[in-house]
Amino acid sequence: MKLIKILSVVGCALLFQVSQAQVRFDFGLKGGLNFASLNTSSSVAQDYNNRTGYHVGAYAMLKFTKFAIQPEVLFSKQGQTYSFPTSSNLTADFSYINIPIMLKFYLAEGLNLQAGPQFGFLANQTSSITALTNSGTLTTAQLKDFVKSSDVSLALGAGWDLPFGLNITARYNLGLSDINKITGTANPAVVSSLGTTTAKNQVIMISVGYRLFKLGK
């Protein structure tokens, strides 16, 4: 009970300092479209098709005049589809909980540049592959056992803070980590990566956000 009281006092003191200093605290919601794909290398001829998904979540921002730090928590639909001539098709449908931590540099009139790391955690996947075996029969396998549960990306983008709490962001997430658990062409690796040596997420995000409240100037 004493600890709760102490934390409450500290929290109120911090909020008071933010409100009095040249620091602004924002909290809001955001969402938008994903144009996702996987950056892969493959020994098999294939056609790639981007997947259109979405993201939705919340953000908090500490703004110091020209600079700001903005952590976010986003639910994000990502993945890709592949078509292999006469043999198999793959649908990679991944749901991530992404936590980008963005450093923002403000230029003028609310325009800003953004960069920072993003940490992703696989929440769900409904990916499957339908392949033609040597005996001529079609088989389907789930990819949940072949995809890593975490992902690290570099997020780069630009934004515009509009009046009345609205903001628009365009961002590119460049995957830095290989999400394949198994690589190679021998079974069962061929099921997970289809001959690829790496598979990295890459996503273009277009977001619209709305600030629910702010503290400070």
Domain boundaries, the chain: 24-215
Position with higher pLDDT, 49 vs 216: 216
Contacts of 67 (CB under 8 A, 6+ apart): 103, 104, 105, 106
Res 85: pLDDT: 54
Q: Which residue has the tokens 């273009």?
A: 204
Average pLDDT over residues 55-60: 98
Average pLDDT over residues 55-76: 96
Largest CA distance in the chain: 74
Average pLDDT over residues 177-191: 65
Do residues 125 and 94 touch, judged by C-beta distance below 8 A? yes
Res 43: pLDDT: 52
Which stretch of 12-16, 19-23, 34-38, 205-209 has the lowest confidence by average pLDDT? 12-16
Do residues 95 and 123 touch, judged by C-beta distance below 8 A? yes
CA distance 156 to 118: 10
Position with higher pLDDT, 208 vs 189: 208
User: Which class would CATH give 24-215?
Assistant: mainly beta
In terms of average pLDDT, the best of 33-37, 56-60, 147-151 is 56-60
Whole-model pTM?
0.78
Average pLDDT over residues 157-183: 91
Average pLDDT over residues 153-180: 94
Average pLDDT over residues 43-64: 81
Which stretch of 38-47, 74-83, 94-103, 114-123 has the lowest confidence by average pLDDT? 38-47
Q: How many CA atoms lie within 13 A of 192 on its CB side?
A: 19
Which stretch of 6-10, 55-59, 91-95, 213-217 has the lowest confidence by average pLDDT? 6-10
Tens digits of residue pLDDT in 69-107: 999 999 999 987 766 554 556 667 889 999 999 999 999
